[in-house]
Amino acid sequence: MERTLYQWFADSAARHGGRVALEVGGGRHTYAELDALSRRLAAEIVAACGEPPGRVGLYAARSVLAYAGYLAVQRLGATVVPLNPAAPDARNRAIAKAAGLDLVLADAALRPPVLPAATLALRLDRLDEPPRGMPDTLAARPDDLAYVLFTSGSTGVPKGVPLRHRSVDAYLRHVIPRYELGPGCRLSQTFDLTFDLSVFDMFAAWGSGATLVVPGAYDLVKPVAFVNRERLTHWFSVPSVVSLAMRLRRLAPGSMPSLRWSLFCGEPLTLRQARAWALAAPGSVLENLYGPTELTISCAEYRLPADRDRWPRTANGTVPIGLPYPGVEHLVLDGEGRPAGEGELCLRGVQRFPGYADPGVNEGRFVRFDGQVAAPPRTGDGVPPELWYRTGDRVAWRDGLLVHLGRLDQQVKISGHRVELGEVEAALRDQPGVHEAVVLAVPGEDGEPALEAACTGAGLDPVALLKGVAALLPGYMVPRSVTLLDELPLNANGKVDRRATAAALHS
């Protein structure tokens, strides 16, 4: 039987009410306590709206109210739309307008938002006593929307990505047993709630009776200290956290003995990052995950062998993304729309989203089985399930595994030669002292694209770096310059911000 997000939590609360569900801000909250708090919040929401709402914005971050509020929206059968208090007001206003929110539930401890929707600002001390008229749980259906997340759009307008309960249910049924989750497990919560990977953090934990452990403001700068202090058993983050720990020399071999599972997603995981983390957590199984928001959190996986001598080698120095999950079908199409061993990855199945919140954004993003671009309906009825979603990611089959080659727009032509930016980045990372590297194609004085690089590391000399790359790659693949940075710019989700990096190169 398919379960909604709230049902996953409620089943654990019924079985493990006395166990700790959430640790945040120095406090510990059992499943029973979190359930009761979410019920009180649900009553406040209904009282503010006059009836159960359809869509509720959540303006809170890394607080008890944020997590209980997420559950409160789910128990009302409504759709949650996380907002980021650290984001510019203009972006949150644009998201609130595009989402058609009925209400915004806000943490009153934060600066109040100015949004085009009614705002209910609450403090936890207002919720000590349950209000009158506590609402019953309103059951959502598997085809109802669980949440809508907004990702960056190529036009500058955020794209709303709605996900159904059915899709998340299929995802949780796969990942919870795969990672041996259950009572006694302690999971990191490294992702902002506006990042889809946070849904794994919350509901893989709460769907299994485990404990979700929320880091403090500076814990991700010191992941080893965080892991050891909190006795974490499961780690999940973007790979950039590994690079930061390596740069700060805080990833000593054997330094994280409690970890049993280490998962990375959100950007390519390099083999160098994987080796450093594996040495620091020798008792941990390490997996690389892949998945766009449109495919429900993650949809492909590759488990690195325990024997590091059996690890794969790839041209761009990244860990393979492996094979898709059960229930996720895949096609690799070349530039002519034909099945191929290398090209764009297209996906469909139970984890595929039903189409963007703005139906007009669906244009060009779906194909039929023959690779011809389909024209999805420009209505709110959703995209037919038989159509394939075009991820925009380039992949190749290597030894029976999918290897991520970068975005379609990261393959460039230099002097008529096809260049994979990831391969140049791998050559830079191979140079002594280099921690991280990003290569960009920027317009030259003659209008033709040219390669420029940014690197972090210790004791680096740009001239020596270029000579080292020239010894590995053809001349047309050697960047014309290398800029040394103390650290690479990251976006709100902890990924390398390539646009900000480009700005840094010319500042």
Mean pLDDT by 10 residues, the chain (507 residues): 96 98 96 95 92 95 96 96 88 90 95 89 74 70 96 65 98 98 97 94 98 94 95 94 85 96 92 95 98 96 96 93 96 87 95 94 84 55 89 94 86 67 87 93 71 93 94 84 92 81 85
Please tell me if the domain spanning 1-163 has the same topology as the one spanning 415-505. no
Instruction: Identify the burial level of 93 via C-beta atoms within 10 angstroms of its C-beta, where 0-12 means exposed, 13-18 middle and 19 or more buried.
Output: middle
* SS3 call for 116: coil
152 token code pair: 């960056």
Query: Which H helix or E strand runs over 150?
Result: strand 145-151
Q: Which residue has the tokens 């990942």?
A: 175
pLDDT for residue 65: 96
Q: Are 165 and 140 in contact (CB under 8 A)?
A: yes
What pLDDT score does 413 carry? Answer: 64
What are the Cα distances from residue 441, in Å, to 45, 411, 427, 449, 452?
49, 9, 16, 6, 6
Contacts of residue 425, Cβ cutoff 8 Å, sequence gap at least 6: 316, 317, 437, 438, 439, 453
Domain ranges of the chain: 1-163, 323-407, 415-505
Q: Which residues of 164-196 are buried (b: 16+ CB within 10 A; e: fewer)?
A: bbbbbbbbbbbbbeebebeeebbbbbbbbbbbb
Rounded to an integer, what distance in angstroms lies between the CA atom of residue 131 and that of residue 28? 23
CB-side neighbour CA atoms (13 Å) of 353: 31
3-state SS, 282-311, equals CCCEEEEEECCHHHCCCCEEEECCCCHHHC
Answer yes or no: are the C-beta atoms of 228 and 253 closer than 8 Å: no
pLDDT of residue 155: 46
pLDDT value of position 133: 65
Locate all alpha helices (DSSP H) within 76-216, ordered by sequence: 89-99, 165-178, 197-206
Helix (H) or strand (E) holding 56: strand 55-59
The predicted structure's pLDDT at residue 496: 85
The SS3 call for residue 258 is: coil
The Cα–Cα gap between 301 and 319 comes to 10
CA distance 339 to 52: 47
Which CATH fold would you assign to the domain 1-163? Rossmann fold (3.40.50)
Q: What is the pLDDT of residue 230?
A: 98
Q: Write the pLDDT tens digit of every residue in 368-383.
A: 876 565 555 555 568 9
DSSP label of 134? P
Q: Is the dihedral of CA 89, 95, 97, 102 positive or negative?
A: negative
Instruction: Write out the two tokens for 455.
Output: 């690197």
Tokens representing 452 are 């420029």
Query: 5-15 vs 64-75: helix axis angle to the nearest 10?
Result: 110
Give the rounded percent of residues in the chain with a pLDDT score beyond 70: 91
* Predicted pLDDT of residue 316: 87
Cα→Cα distances 311→152, 303, 319, Å: 34, 10, 9
What CATH number labels 415-505? 3.30.300.30
pLDDT at site 175:
98
Nearest to 76 by CA among 100, 53, 101, 103: 53
103-23-168 Cα angle (round to 5): 55
Per-residue pLDDT at 156 = 47
Of 3.40.50.300, 2.170.120.12, 2.60.120.10, 2.30.38.10, the CATH number of 323-407 is 2.30.38.10
Structure confidence by residue, pLDDT tens digits, 128-170: 665 556 666 778 899 999 999 988 654 446 789 999 999 999 9
The reported pLDDT for the residue numbered 130 is 59
Instruction: Return the C-alpha torsion angle 264, 268, 270, 274, nearest 10.
Output: 10
SS3 364: coil
Between the alpha carbon of residue 240 and those of residues 115, 312, 480, the distances in Å are: 32, 21, 25
DSSP state of 124: G
Q: What distance lies between CA 496 and its chain's CA centroid?
A: 13
Q: Give DSSP secondary structure letters for 65-97.
A: HHHHHHHHHHHTT-EEEEE-TTS-HHHHHHHHH
Distance CA 162, CA 150 (A): 9
Question: In 332-364, which positions are buried (b, 16+ CB within 10 angstroms) versus exposed (e)?
Answer: bbeeebeebeebbbbbbbbbbbbbbbebebbee
Both tokens assigned to 77 = 């059968």
Other C-beta atoms lying within 10 Å of the C-beta of residue 415: 11
